[in-house]
Amino acid sequence: MPLTTYWLEHAWLDTHVEPGVALTVSPSGSATDPADGRIAAVRTGVDTPPPGAVVLRGLTIPGLANAHSHAFHRALRGTVQVGSGTFWTWRETMYTVAQRLTPDSYFALARAVYAEMALAGITAVGEFHYLHHAPGGTPYADPNAMGEALIAAAGEAGIRITLLDTAYLSAGFGAAPEQHQLRFTDGTADRWAERVSALKERDGVRLGAAIHSVRAVPADQLATVARWAQDREAPLHVHLSEQTAENDACLAAHGRTPTQLLADHGVLGARTTGVHNTHMTDADIALIGSTSTGTCMCPTTERDLADGIGPAVALQRAGSPLSLGSDSHAVVDLLEEARAMELDERLRTRTRGHWTAAALLRAATADGHAALGWADAGTLEAGALADFTTIALDSVRTAGPVPRLAAETAVFAAAAADVRHTIVGGRRIVRDGIHHSVPDVGQALADSIAALRG
């Protein structure tokens, strides 16, 4: 297949914005499959587009990595913003939506959600997947039908997926699953491992594991999930200390914090990511950092659910790589998540400048991809996967600043609506703000969500 040259008016090259960059890419696979296309060469100082080059005007950055997604939560947008309540009342609404999904309706919804992500410049998603079985807990004929629906949806939307298949076994510290949680559970970690082992990686798809939380996986079964991931050198994610109530219950049940409990059972490590890491002691932070366990911050969801502001600065200083996720999809905008991490910290500390724009972009790109097992993505350099996105610099939000400040403009002013092009595996998935296979993403979202209403 012939090489394609993209001419980037401005490109973010990890540390700075470079004008006039030519990327030569070697696409492969089909138009709907983000296969292993890679960047073959990067040339700087190319003032004008080479003959035949695809011109991308604006700022081109590596594709964004959404390190934490629950696709079906997109159906909650708007509904759960009515009135007040807590994380725990929000969860009851979430259970209602979860009960109505089938493999077919989940595919339709996830395809639209992943297309929305592509429009927002996201080229890889980590899907924290725990909706496994039919209502009542009966397995489908294919026990992985729901996971396969997510994989197929990502393929049609044109983005890469790491399916973080999630062990969810308990209603809380040994309590049997409640009725609305029966769809989530395999009964034991061994049976979870048997089911998930039947899934196979393929082009554009990587497999990982997840522990829903220390309240949902009994302590004596944590190591089974950790070993499954370790044996496959796969990513392992876990909701961690999102709520003070979980911390209190863990202390009551085990006499230690959730972080300490995970450490005792071999869960922490360089391929592990704690999602949220909001309510942590100094000892917890030191454990996370000393084991190089990652931290995925989801600021919009954490604000929406009134969870709190996590100690991201302290965690990173301790040695925890940071990534970002849209989680419940109150919005799908990784640029918003990046700036929110900085702005929330400013509110908490009443000081400015905790991260540079470059550091925030790295969390949204290279470090996010690494957390999902795509260490060969997230940079614009030869040999990397040819996944990148272009942000307009002439919109009402981004017009005005000089081009050398384009990274600051993107992080602190731009929105998902400013994404013009998204390329995955060297192929344009989004062109001029239009998705190639889902031309009306809004209608696809509306139709798939309407189908779930009771």
Contacts with 434 (C-beta within 8 Å, 6 or more apart), sequence order: none
| The residue count for the chain | 454
- CA 417 from chain center: how many Å? 18
Which residue, chain included where needed, has tokens 């995925």?
296
DSSP summary character for residue 169:
-
Which residue, chain included where needed, has tokens 């092009």?
421
Catalytic residue among 212, 239, 265, 276: 276
Q: Which two tokens stand for residue 284?
A: 């917890």
| HSE of 314, CA atoms in CB hemisphere, 13 A | 17
Q: Which two tokens stand for residue 213?
A: 């939380």
Reply yes or no on whether 276 is catalytic: yes
Dist CA 305 CA 135 (whole Å): 26
Reply yes or no on whether 327 is catalytic: yes
Q: In what order do the strands lie in the sheet with 272-276?
A: 64-69, 122-129, 160-167, 205-211, 236-240, 272-276, 294-297, 322-324
Catalytic residue among 307, 327, 333, 387: 327
328, 275 in Cβ contact below 8 A? no
Contacts with 424 (C-beta within 8 Å, 6 or more apart), sequence order: 34, 37, 63, 118, 123, 158, 159, 160, 386, 387
Residues labelled as active-site residues: 276, 327
